[in-house]
Amino acid sequence: MTASMIKLERFVSFSELLGQRRFAPDDMWDFDEKGFIIEAISAGGHRIPAFYIAPGIVHTYSTYEFKNPIDNDTALPKSSNGWSPDELTLHWLKHFDNHAQQSSPGAARL
């Protein structure tokens, strides 16, 4: 199967899902991991506080230099190598779910 066929198959599956369920814009989310940061925003414009994955064993607030004040809900978990192992992935999902519930009216999120 070619890459184009795989993309088309995924698009058809996605289109079928959207046809079966009516997702409100606030229930449709996009997230991206760039470097050590995971961020998410809904189609309705709501955002989840950032999730920074910094390498190291011990962290203090003075370790970080932020140009702007950060949200109180910003997560700063530790990772010995800066990667996202299973434990941090689960931590991210809990962080996401906790904050998404505040702006997502539906029971399901996409």
Residue 85 lies in a domain: yes
Residue 19 lies in a domain: no
Residue with more model confidence, 14 or 102: 102
- Domain coverage including residue 91: 24-100
With b meaning 16 or more CB within 10 Å and e meaning fewer, what string describes 21-59? eebeebbbbeeeeeeeebebebeeebebbbbbbeeeeee
Q: What angle do CA 66, 68, 72 make, to 5 degrees?
A: 85
Residue 64 lies in a domain: yes
Residue 81 lies in a domain: yes
Q: How high does pLDDT run on average in the chain? A: 78
Closest CA to 104 of 37, 19, 16, 40: 40
How many domains, in total, are found in the chain?
1
Residue 13 lies in a domain: no
Dump pLDDT digits (tens) for 48-100: 998 877 666 555 555 555 556 667 777 766 666 656 667 788 888 898 998 89
Residue 5 lies in a domain: no
Residue 110 lies in a domain: no
Give the SS3 label for residue 59: coil
Query: What predicted TM-score, i.e. pTM, was given to this entire model?
Result: 0.68
Residue 91 lies in a domain: yes
